[in-house]
Structure formats: C-alpha cells, structure tokens
Amino acid sequence: MASETSRLRFSSQGSVLVVEFADRDVLDEAAIRQINSELVRQIEGAKTAHVLICFQGVEHLSSAALGTLITVNSLVKKRSGQLRLSNIKGTILEVFRITKLDRLFQIHDSSEQALAAFPKG
Amino acid sequence: MSTSKAGSDSGSVMVSASADELEALQTSVASALTRHTYGEHALFAIRLAIEEAVMNAIRHGNLSDPRKTVEVRWAVSADSAAFHIIDQGEGFDPGAVPDPTLDENLEIPSGRGLMLIRAYMSEVRHHGLGNHLEMIFRREAAE
C-alpha cells in the first residue's frame, strides 16, 4: 500500500512536540481522519507529554477538526501534558469563541508565546 | 448529476460521500459569491455552513450509506445566498440536539455542526421530518 502524504509537520522545541498543518483547509473528513491518526501516533510515540499545535496558514476549519482537537486534548491530558494552540487566524478564532472551545483550549497569539507558557524542565 | 455550471448564480447538485463533489460545489458557490462581491467573512461563513450541513446530511441523515445522496440546491444574488440541503434519511428533531457549549458537553468531540450553521447563517429552517435544511445568508445583516 502506498503511504499517504503527511498532512502535518512535526518538530521538537525543548520538551514540546510542535505540530504544523501542511494544508490551508482542514475541512475534508477523510483528511481530518488522517490528521487525527497522525497526531495520535506521534503523541503516543513522543518522549515528551507537551504539545503545541500551530495554525499558521490555516484558513478554514470544520467542526470535525474541532472534534479531533478535543480528542487530542484528552490524550495529552491523560499523559499529564499540556496542549496549547497558537497562530489562529481571526475568522477561525471566532469559531472557537462561538463553540466556547476557547474556554477548553489554551490559545496564544504566537508559537513563541505558547512555548514560553509550557512548564520548564 | 449536476446542473451547476461555471459562472452560474444557482445550481442543483447531488453529493455523495465523495470529497471531490463537495469541493466542486464549494468552488461554484464561492465563484458566484465573488462575482457578487461578497466579502471574505461571508465566503468563510458560507463555506463553513455548507461543509457542516452536507457532512451532517451524509453522516447523520444518510448514515454514511454510499448508495444514498444529498441534494443541494443553491442560489446566490446580490442580497442573499440561499441553500436547501436534503438527505435521504429519516429526519431528526432539531430541538433534541444537546447544546455543545454547556460545560458538561464541552469535551464531547461531536455535535457542533448545527450550532455553527445557526451562528453563521441569517435564517435556518428545518422542513419535513428534519431531513430538509434551508439556510439563508443575508448580506446586509452580516457585512
């Protein structure tokens, strides 16, 4: 079976797994399923429990994508880590506010601010 | 089957579970909105509402049955954009959908599509047994 092209980019910043999106739209259900399984696999295999998801370049986001973020949040919490989100465009931030998920997630303007907010050590 | 043509201000299309069909619909609608000089926020709102409505119809209406389709009829004018999304399911009671913004529901991964449609559209109506959704975006109210 041919391997699918990754829809995410992963890197490490100190004790934090940093995730970025390759696509500008996170809408399509098949793509979101792939993103979900990539995230779960990477987080479960990571040495660190903390995760930053950076939304730089993302223009659209559906409720299915929000569902994936909630699943990831539960997984990260179960591993005693923190999930933080950053670089969310204004229109998408409005989606978080409408659904009141801005109360559930730690949202930062920039990845630098988010990285500085994780516990040290 | 599709009667949506490039450069058209209205159309009727049957969408199955294929992402390509939905994307083609989104492209046709976005072209019509752009021709009528709708703003960036309107394009964002309408794209999201179409995505949520069609995915709800496929998943909850047609129960992801690949033999079933969703009919989408749409019309864009200078003042408004109107959509009818009709699935082949047995309908539902929109009043029975739990409020996903309540504290006890905040960590449930699903159930936010309908509330996003209501938030971004000017008017939302359910017809018949609930398997026919009508949603209208009125330009003056939103821009």
Average pLDDT, chain B: 91
Indicate which CATH number applies to the domain containing A96: 3.30.750.24
Task: State the average pLDDT over residues B39-56.
Answer: 95
For B39, left (φ over 0), alpha (ψ -120 to 50), or beta?
A: beta
Pick from B55, B109, B116: which is nearest to A71 by CB? B109
Instruction: Give the distance from residue B19's alpha carbon to the nearest chain A alpha carbon, in angstroms.
Output: 7
Tell me, yes or no, whether B90 lies in a domain: yes
Indicate which CATH number applies to the domain containing B31: 3.30.565.10
Q: Are B68 and B14 in contact (CB under 8 A)?
A: no
Number of structural domains, chain B? Answer: 1
The radius of gyration of chain B's CA atoms, rounded to the nearest angstrom, is 15
Tell me, yes or no, whether B53 lies in a domain: yes
Tell me, yes or no, whether A21 lies in a domain: yes
Q: Is B97 near chain A, with CB under 8 Å?
A: no
Tell me, yes or no, whether A48 lies in a domain: yes
Task: State the average pLDDT over residues A18-25.
Answer: 91
Instruction: Give the distance from residue A68's alpha carbon to the nearest chain B alpha carbon, in angstroms.
Output: 7
Q: Is B99 near chain A, with CB under 8 Å?
A: no
Domain containing residue A17:
8-117
Partners of A98 on chain B (C-beta within 8 Å) are: 115-116, 119
B interface mutation test: which of A4, A7, A26, A27 has the most B CBs within 10 A?
A27
Instruction: Give the distance from residue A93's alpha carbon to the nearest chain B alpha carbon, in angstroms.
Output: 12
pLDDT in tens, B31-40: 999 999 999 9
Burial class (CB in 10 A: 0-12, 13-18, 19+), B30: middle
Q: Are A26 and A36 in contact (CB under 8 A)?
A: no
Domain containing residue B73:
10-142
Write down the ipTM of this complex. 0.88
Task: State the average pLDDT over residues B45-60.
Answer: 95
Contact B115 A98 (CB under 8 A): yes
* Angstrom distance (rounded) from CA A54 to CA B53: 27
Number of structural domains, chain A? Answer: 1
- Measure the N-to-C terminal CA separation of chain A; round to a whole number of Å: 41
